[in-house]
Amino acid sequence: MRNNRGIAPINIVLGIVAAGIVALFVYNIANRPPNQHIGDSKPWVQYMSRGNADTKNVFIDYTDYFCSYCAQVEAATSQHEFNDTYIKPGKLRYEHRVITVLKNMVPNSEQGAEAAYCAADQNKYWEYTHDIVPRIKSDYFDKGIGVKNVAVPKEIPKLPLSYFAESAKSAKLDVAAFSDCMTHEKHKSEIEANTKRALALGVSGLPYIVVNNYTTSGFAGGYNGLQTILKAGGVNP
């Protein structure tokens, strides 16, 4: 009898402690500061964002045309299933942030970023991206050039303006305006500012992915891998 009377108060104390832990957890979730990557939910570059601008679900992809793992994200998000499941129904806003954190290792990083911003000037960013990324993959990544997971790494040589202009033509941009934008590095200061901004937020390697309050660096697994990341951020099909 004495043992039973002693156990009851202990159970009460443990119950109170458990309830306190749960209450603290709920409080922290409810009062968690907003994700600094998302901020006011406005895209850094208007035409590098697509999907429902008013949705609560935000998918941010820090990227570089000359990052081979970023090309895998591009391949996954270019599938009709992604568009039909998440973008068309308004479940998700998907934003690219093209930055140059890899410029000391990737000779074409800055040119690639300039091309992206120049395409966005004509509201043709997505069309341009869907053309040039598969080209770079076919011309270089698939041949073991510009990738790390090979016995003897080779970097992509510095590419001429004509390489970028070819995709501008394919994506039906005004090629003359695009080329002038590239030649005069119209967006150089903006790209540098956004790269510094990304570094200040903790972005170092690419791709760096943010889905609501979930963040991850790197990518693998194709479309299934993409869905796993979206689910981790609370976005279900």
Q: What is the pLDDT of residue 161?
A: 98
Provide the terminal-to-terminal Cα distance of the chain, rounded to the nearest Å: 56
* Mean pLDDT to the nearest integer, 4-8: 55
CA distance 185 to 18: 59
Mean pLDDT (the chain) is 90
Average pLDDT over residues 35-48: 91
Rounded to two decimals, what is the model's pTM? 0.85
What per-residue confidence (pLDDT) applies to 146? 96
- Least Cα distance to 219 among 72, 51, 75 occurs for 72
Residue type at 58 in one-letter notation: V
The pLDDT assigned to 8 comes to 60
What is the spatial distance between Cα 57 and Cα 86, in angstroms, rounded to a whole number? Answer: 10
Judge whether residue 14 has pLDDT over 70. no
Residues with Cβ within 8 Å of residue 171, at least 6 apart in sequence: 119, 124, 127, 128, 130, 131
Q: Scanning the structure block, which residue is given the tokens 């120049």?
A: 118
Share of the chain above pLDDT 70, in %: 86
Angle at 134 between CA 133 and CA 135, to 5 degrees: 90
Asked if pLDDT for residue 62 goes beyond 90, the answer is yes
Residue 217, helix vs strand vs coil? strand
Phi, psi of 136 (to 5 degrees): -65, -40
Residue ranges of alpha helices (H) inside 78-187 are 80-82, 109-121, 125-139, 161-170, 175-183
The pLDDT of 208-230, averaged and rounded, is 95
Q: What is the DSSP string of 81-103?
A: HHIIIIITTT--EEEEEE--TTT
Say if residue 30's pLDDT is above 70. no
| pLDDT for position 221 | 86
pLDDT tens, 126-140?
A: 999 999 999 999 999
Distance of CA 32 to the CA centre of its chain: 22
Q: Is the pLDDT score of 16 beyond 70?
A: no
pLDDT for residue 175 is more than 70:
yes
